[in-house]
Structure 1
Amino acid sequence: MRPQLTEDAADRFRRDNVLRYVGTAGAERDDPWCPVPLDAAGLRPDYVVGPGGGYASVQEAVNRALQEQRHGRVVIGVAAGVYCGLVYVPRASFAVTLIGLGASPSDVVLAENIDAEMQGPEYIRRFASHFANAPENVAKLYRRIAGLSPISTAHASVLRVENDGFQLLNLTVQNTYNCDRSQGGDLAVNALGQFRNGQHQAVALLVAGADRVQVQNVVLSSFQDTLYLQSPTKGETVRSSFVDCDIEGDVDFIFGQSTAWFERCTIRTLTSRAAKSWATAPSTDLRTPYGFVFNACNFTHDGKAQQGQCYLGRQWFEGVRATPFGAADIPGYRVNVGPVSFFDPPVGTISRATLNSVGKCVILRSLIGDHIDTTAPWDAWSGNEWNPRHRPALYRASDMLSPLADWLREQGQTYEDICPDMPFLAEYQNRTA
């Protein structure tokens, strides 16, 4: 199936519409945001990192600005070079602009090897010195992550941004994790020593609930989960803008809950490792107007891709443990609506938050490489064969509601219980009555 927008429908996905709304799903604030292109030549750094500057790392410069209790906007310039270490930019009384001072993004690289399966003691051993003299709002975040085992995808990033109004310009963020952490079992590896299966999430940039994040002329590189666009809490959205960026990975490498605009970006699929590759994995709430919107982008690959292996994306069925979709092959299988999602075979529950995680993605006026099967560019979640986490690709509201009609009736639920105040409900119910 290859759904396409009409011209009128596509017109609704203009940048200023997409970036206009923020807040609680279904009750977003109308808060127009029209990011102005960043001019590197016009930015004068308040702090300089690297040779000729006063700081050896970006984190040191961030810490100094926090200690000085700055206000307004703080510009941190980074001289040419490779900088290993983590960077955490917390909420503050100022917004941060982080700019590479080289001629191109490749001249300034923020790099580190960190992955979701890392245990707390290893995280402490490797990164305690990075945060030894950090102000409390950074140190508190470090201590929280250090107490986890494993640290999880939400804490496995090179650059973590919680700072509203954050700007990133003219540099590279690379997670150098090589998908080579053994997780037990007999798992195949490729010529680079990478495991083809297993959990290998390793984030380059995590936008952790920050709003109005502007990223321009930046390279983001990893394999699985390169760019994580995380909402502040489930059922809320914030906004990010990516212009003239290069983003690469192999599995779900642009993913998350929030709203994001991508313009003139190169989206590169790497295909030497995974049996299947997905460029996107949004988990947008059903009631949030916009998820990920790509305009005038180039979906390409590394030259090793094969059609049938690569997809534009799949919709992250976030938190699912037991699915109401499809015909179960487990005797006595039953799933009920409940406060949390869990599965104790053969009975499970699914929360409304999980049901609402439908994932929204629109691609406009973009080039799509021959690695994508144009007749089936979107994939099901957790495979096409039924399993307890299965969900087919959903292109429109009726694709979700129609298969759930009988199940909802058995639950004593209505469509309004799942998605209250959605404008399409009356139209859908009239059409199916």
Structure 2
Amino acid sequence: MRGARPTGTLTAALALATVLAAALPTAASAVGPDDRLDRGHAAVRADATVGPDRRADFTTVQAAIDAAPEGRTSPWVIALRPGTYHEVVKVPATKPFLTLVGTGRRAQDVVVSYDNANGTPKPDGSGTHGTSGSASVTIDGADFTARNLTFANTFDEAAHPEITNRQAVAVLTRADRLVFDGVRFLGNQDTLYVNSTAADVVARASFRDCYVEGDVDFVFGRATAVFEGCEIRSLTRGSTTNNGYVTAPSTSVANPYGFLFTRCRFTSDAPDGTVFLGRPWHPSNDPNAIGQVLVRDSWIGAHVGGTAWSDFSGGWSWRDARFAEHANRGPGALVTDDRPQLTPAEAKDRTPRAYLAGADGWSPRR
């Protein structure tokens, strides 16, 4: 793709397809790989446009981000026209309040992707990318928003048998107060890495009406993340016993809020009982990483069995983590001794607002 072309003052108001819902979405409205985002259109003002030809202000997403001003206190909107943008994208910490909006009718009309894995050699010969370095998109700018588009890591495991470290991140977040509406996250192992800048730093992210797919630990990290009305799809790895883990939280013991899934759908084409809801990740064997996950008021497919949580290698038991469920339904919503359930009283205060408010009272829908 070409870089930026000279631009003048951008004053035209552009009609952008945005994900606007008058009411909270239901789990059935989650954005699947072939679902349309028929949630209406709204006219908003774009500060820059990205497209596959010179009719747009920029031909790459990164060029538009590089041109955005630093230190914003209100949104700077970048409109992405339909197309596939094969590039590594980084949103620096110096550029808060960036908004990326796909202008297609569906989230899959705009795709931002790359294909690095943990074990992919760097072009300069200085080693491999590592898990964090494999990310197609890295978000370090606070108050970032993305709507109506797809983020993907397209690393082809079958085509690269020589690469054994196959973690391949689609999106890595390290910033606070992030919003994703109607966004698709595609990958295999380690698709969505929701993290923070340090173990004792809380970073919050809201995912609404999104679609996330992968196989091993494909939602992981120490951030506080709320998934509302999303589809969480586990890909099969062809095993008859273990087809992976949805989550791998590394929540700090000082943080009561890790991952909350509410009114979501957990789906898969894997055999019954071969997928786990999660396992506790202890980076560098950190004993203070006591993962927290709550799945509540959601539909769970038969791919999840009577034992929904798994130990992590190194002797870390899932029973020492903070894993729980509440009021789920579906063929995989079993209640067993290996699936801790919150009481109604305990669940009452475990809401999206409680997870996301923090000391500043942040509300992503305000």
TM-score bracket for this pair, using the shorter chain length: 0.7 to 0.9
> CA offset at residue 73 of structure 1?
1.8
> CA offset at residue 307 of structure 1?
2.6
Alignment TM-score, normalising by the size of structure 1 = 0.61
> CA offset at residue 119 of structure 1?
2.2
Partner of 1:371: 303
SS in 1 for 2:42: helix
- Structure with the larger helix share: 1
Partner of 2:312: 381
Where do 1:116-127 residues align within 5 Å?
116-120=118-122, 122=123, 124=124
SS in 1 for 2:307: coil
1:251 matches 2:216: yes
Using a 3 Å threshold, how does the CA distance of structure 1 residues 40 and 62 change in structure 2: closer, same or farther?
A: farther
Residue from 224, 229, 247 that aligns with 1:280: 247
Report the more deviating stretch, 168-177 or 85-94: 85-94
Residue from 37, 62, 65 that aligns with 1:62: 65
Where do 1:218-367 residues align within 5 Å?
218-273=183-238, 275-301=242-268, 303=269, 305-320=270-285, 354-367=286-299
- The gaps in structure 2 that reach 5 residues or longer are 1-23, 25-38, 323-366
Matches of 2:300 and 2:308, distance apart in 1:
10
Where do 1:38-117 residues align within 5 Å?
41-50=42-51, 51=53, 52-66=55-69, 72-117=74-119
CA RMSD of aligned residues (A): 2.2
Number of equivalent positions: 280
Letter in 1 for 2:59: A
Matches of 2:93 and 2:165, distance apart in 1:
30
**How high is the sequence identity, in percent, across the aligned residues?**
35
Using a 3 Å threshold, how does the CA distance of structure 1 residues 39 and 232 change in structure 2: closer, same or farther?
A: farther
Matches of 1:258 and 1:165, distance apart in 2:
14
Using a 3 Å threshold, how does the CA distance of structure 1 residues 286 and 106 change in structure 2: closer, same or farther?
A: same
Using a 3 Å threshold, how does the CA distance of structure 1 residues 396 and 311 change in structure 2: closer, same or farther?
A: closer
Letter in 1 for 2:257: Y
Using a 3 Å threshold, how does the CA distance of structure 1 residues 368 and 96 change in structure 2: closer, same or farther?
A: same
Q: Does the 8 A contact of 1:358 with 1:394 survive in 2? A: no
Partner of 2:180: 215
Using a 3 Å threshold, how does the CA distance of structure 1 residues 219 and 152 change in structure 2: closer, same or farther?
A: same
> CA offset at residue 40 of structure 1?
6.0
> CA offset at residue 306 of structure 1?
1.5
Using a 3 Å threshold, how does the CA distance of structure 1 residues 96 and 355 change in structure 2: closer, same or farther?
A: same
1:156 matches 2:122: no
Alignment TM-score, normalising by the size of structure 2 = 0.72
> CA offset at residue 273 of structure 1?
5.0
Matches of 2:72 and 2:217, distance apart in 1:
37
Post-superposition CA distance 1:9-67 (Å, at most 9, x none): xxxxxx9xxxxxxxxxxxxxxxxxxxxxx99624321100004311101101011114x
Where do 1:124-143 residues align within 5 Å?
124=124
> CA offset at residue 69 of structure 1?
7.2
Q: Does the 8 A contact of 2:291 with 2:321 survive in 1? A: no
Matches of 1:371 and 1:308, distance apart in 2:
5
Post-superposition CA distance 1:326-376 (Å, at most 9, x none): xxxxxxxxxxxxxxxxxxxxxxxxxxxx11111100011000000000x21
Matches of 1:79 and 1:396, distance apart in 2:
43
> CA offset at residue 93 of structure 1?
4.9
1:176 matches 2:154: yes
Which structure is larger by alpha-carbon Rg, 1 or 2? 1
Matches of 1:108 and 1:117, distance apart in 2:
27
Matches of 2:43 and 2:203, distance apart in 1:
27
Q: Does the 8 A contact of 1:72 with 1:93 survive in 2? A: no
- The gaps in structure 1 that reach 5 residues or longer are 1-14, 16-37, 125-146, 185-197, 321-353, 383-388, 398-433
Matches of 1:391 and 1:289, distance apart in 2:
19
> CA offset at residue 148 of structure 1?
5.2
Letter in 2 for 1:114: N
Post-superposition CA distance 1:375-400 (Å, at most 9, x none): 21111112xxxxxx122212667xxx
Matches of 2:262 and 2:126, distance apart in 1:
38
Post-superposition CA distance 1:93-124 (Å, at most 9, x none): 5410000000010111112111111222x2x5
